[in-house]
Amino acid sequence: MSTLFQEFKEYLQKIQRLDHVCELLTWDMETTVPKEGFAAHADCNAYFATESFKLSTSKEMKEYLDALQSEEEMSKLDDAWKFIIKKMAKDYDKNSRIPVDFFEAITRERSDSFEAWQEAKQKDDFSIFAPHLEKMIEMSKTLYGYTDPDKNVYDAMLDTYEEGMDAATIGRLFQELKEGILPLLKKILSKEEPDTSKFQRKYNVDAQRHVQKLLLDYIGFNWERGAIGEAEHPFTMSFNSKDVRVTNHYYEDHPISSMFSAIHEGGHAIFDQNVNPAFDNTVAASCDFMGIHESQSRFYENILGRNIHFWMPIYEKVQEILPELSDVTLEEFHREINHIKNSFIRTEADEVTYCFHVILRYEIEQALFRDNLPVSELPALWNQKMEEYLQIVPETDRVGVLQDMHWSDGSFGYFPSYLLGSIYDGMLLEAIEADLGSVDELLENNHIDQITKWLNEKIHIYGNTRLPKETIREVCGREVTVEPLIKYFTEKYTKLYDL
């Protein structure tokens, strides 16, 4: 190891420690901090994030990166470090154009805006959130003006969350998907709805917490490297492969929500816990490609979790923990978790109508960033699109435009990742069955670990080092296509709804 490289690693360690405490402050702000303690946390977060930003965009950093990119130095590095240096040089190029003051200001506004969103959602009052949302939109435009001056803002946002998946491709895929599933959805909705009377009960929240643990155990969450918390909106956070945390939110009248959030976030966590540990605390670690990341969470949640065979080895245990389900047969439970219906909340939607929840948000983000829609018109546009796609209109913003946290911290362009994830999942299902045989049989025989192992080896271990398109090409042997997802939906629901 060269002296230069050694010094560089020490420099990175300083940045890494600053980032580590910012992660922890964020975790705590979303899970634990009391109302009056929030401001002190947010102040520390902005301070340390800015210190980290200064080190990441310093002249010293530039000198390190330039020197390490010399042919001589590069020849001494292994492949992981070659990737890391190149990726950091690319990040430096973008981020060093952001003024430090602006970076600090947007970091502070993110916390303020998140806090305002929490309050707005609790009080069901969009006006509390609106000024912060306006500011986040303006600041995000400014931010991308610095980092990607030659790109359309929304294109740059999409690229942030799924590098290399350009806006045109995403637009085309979503259009094909919409056309592919609309006829199916229409047929399903014309059939009689399953009986839901057994689900109109109160489900003990403590018991739901125990079910979450059972589900995380079952899918392979590693407790030596993982922890759990509770938050307004479920999310996963990773410090590195050795400390990956999931959160959940429990509703007394809707246990299926916390079960599927558990499986979804568990899928994210299994990804992060199984990244090559050699990448820990570098840009090669936790995967930045959110379509790929969501493909993992949604594979567990939908492809596995909404399959009756997934539940066969554990349903009796679930009933023991949650006796409110004791008169619900596995078949009835399976019908309910695949109950296709137009509903308000994205995170609780079935896997088919879910597509429209994302398309709606994607189109609204386009309206905000391409057509400069005023924030004041957002609730109306939301409701109009709900009417258009799902034929229902939320009575209040809490179950409408205020439901998701994503816009509160400026994560515009994230939502399409969910649907890209599902599109990839259709393809991954085919690839897994080609390699391992029937997923139904694997699940029924309690061999979910074989599926997890396959995902570990084919996807997780690579962390951030392979672009989404490359991953799909290498794992599935072809370019991204919606066809397998449509096929999966069609076969599954034709059978289930007797179409």
Query: Could you say whether residue 24 binds its own copies (CB under 8 A)?
Result: yes
Q: Cβ distance 332 to 218 under 8 Å?
A: no
**Inter-axis angle of helices 126-147 and 378-390, nearest 10:** 90
Spatial distance between the Cα atoms of 136 and 211, rounded to a whole number of angstroms: 37
Nearer to its own copies, 17 or 97 (CB): 17
Q: Answer yes or no whether residue 53 interacts with its own copies by CB under 8 A.
A: no
Comparing CB distances to its own copies, the nearer of 272 and 350 is 272
Q: Which one of the spans 29-37, 62-70, 325-333, 403-411 is the region binding its own copies (CB under 8 A)?
A: 29-37
Closest CA relative to residue 238, chosen from 276, 287, 284: 287
Instruction: Tell me if 240 contacts its own copies by CB under 8 A.
Output: yes
Q: Does residue 460 belong to the site contacting its own copies (CB under 8 A)?
A: no
Q: Where are the beta strands (DSSP E) in 87-179?
A: none
3-state secondary structure of 247: strand
DSSP 8-state symbol, 34: -
* Residue among 6, 7, 37, 499 that touches its own copies (CB under 8 A): 37
If DSSP codes are grouped into helix, strand and coil, which group holds residue 147? Answer: helix
Is 458 within 8 Å of 273 (Cβ atoms)?
no
Which residues are bridge partners to 226 per DSSP? 244
**Is position 57 an interface residue for its own copies (rule: CB under 8 A)?**
no
Work out whether 242 is an interface residue with its own copies (CB under 8 A). yes
Listing from the earlier edge strand, what are the strands of the sheet with 236-240? 226-230, 243-248, 236-240
Residue closer to its own copies (CB basis): 165 or 228: 228
Rounded to the nearest whole angstrom, what is the least distance from the CB of residue 247 to its own copies in the complex? 11
CA dihedral sign, ordered 480, 461, 69, 95: positive
Catalytic one of 163, 265, 294, 301: 265
For 173, residues 6+ apart whose C-beta sits below 8 A from its C-beta are 420, 423, 480, 482
Binding of its own copies by 214 (CB under 8 A): no
DSSP-assigned beta bridge partners for residue 228: 246
Question: Under the criterion CB under 8 A, does residue 72 sit at the interface with its own copies?
Answer: no
Residue 436 engages its own copies in binding (rule: CB under 8 A): no
| 439 burial type by CB count under 10 A (0-12 exposed, 13-18 middle, 19+ buried) | buried
Region binding its own copies by CB under 8 A among candidate stretches 174-182, 220-228, 310-318, 432-440: 220-228
Is 32 or 196 the residue whose CB approaches its own copies more closely?
Answer: 32
Residue 119 a catalytic site member: no
Q: How many residues bind its own copies (CB under 8 A)?
A: 34
Nearest one of 334, 315, 312 to 326, comparing CA atoms: 315
Q: Does 35 bind its own copies (CB under 8 A)?
A: yes
**By CB under 8 A, is residue 101 in contact with its own copies?**
no
Q: Are 432 and 304 in contact (CB under 8 A)?
A: no
Q: Which residues pair with 248 in a beta bridge?
A: 230
Q: Does 202 bind its own copies (CB under 8 A)?
A: no
Residue 197 Cα to chain centre, angstroms: 32
54 lies in the site for its own copies, by CB under 8 A: no
Site string for its own copies, 257-296 (x = CB under 8 A): ------------------------x---------------
Q: Which of 8, 15, 30, 48 binds its own copies (CB under 8 A)?
A: 48
Is residue 227 involved in binding its own copies (CB under 8 A)?
yes
- What is d(CA 121, CA 452) in angstroms, rounded to the nearest whole number? 36
Strands 236-240 vs 243-248: parallel, antiparallel or unpaired: antiparallel
Q: Which stretch binds its own copies (CB under 8 A): 32-40, 249-257, 377-385, 490-498?
A: 32-40
Which window, 108-116, 240-248, 387-395, 418-426, contacts its own copies (CB under 8 A)?
Answer: 240-248
Which residues of this chain interact with its own copies, rule CB under 8 A?
17, 20-21, 24-25, 27-28, 32-37, 39-41, 43-44, 47-48, 206, 209, 223-227, 229, 239-240, 242-243, 245, 281
Query: Catalytic site residues?
Result: 265
